Structure 1
Amino acid sequence: MILFWIFKGLFDAVEDRRKDNKKSMIANIVFVIAGLGILVWQGIQFFLYK
């Protein structure tokens, strides 16, 4: 589910850049960074506590 959120956010950010909608593009990039952070955090927990 988080991977879908990341890909959708990236796709929307690229579309917003084409349409010159910078506020929405920045919001989508923040969501993508948050999703990547969650994936990295969960991956580290999985490998450390396995």
Structure 2
Amino acid sequence: MSRTNRLIFIVWICGERFEFSLGEQRFYKRESFSYPKRCQECRDEMEGDQGLI
């Protein structure tokens, strides 16, 4: 049986799914970050709403 090392998250804001690859998981673990809760589109939209670019 083949096993993938990616996770699929459902975004709590928009309800869309996004993939969290093994490389991203390793990076987040190395940097002691929590797993993401937003997809890239939601993050971009939040930054735009806050005036961050």
Bigger fraction of residues in strand: 2
Bigger fraction of residues in helix: 1
TM-score (norm 2): 0.31
TM-score (norm 1): 0.32
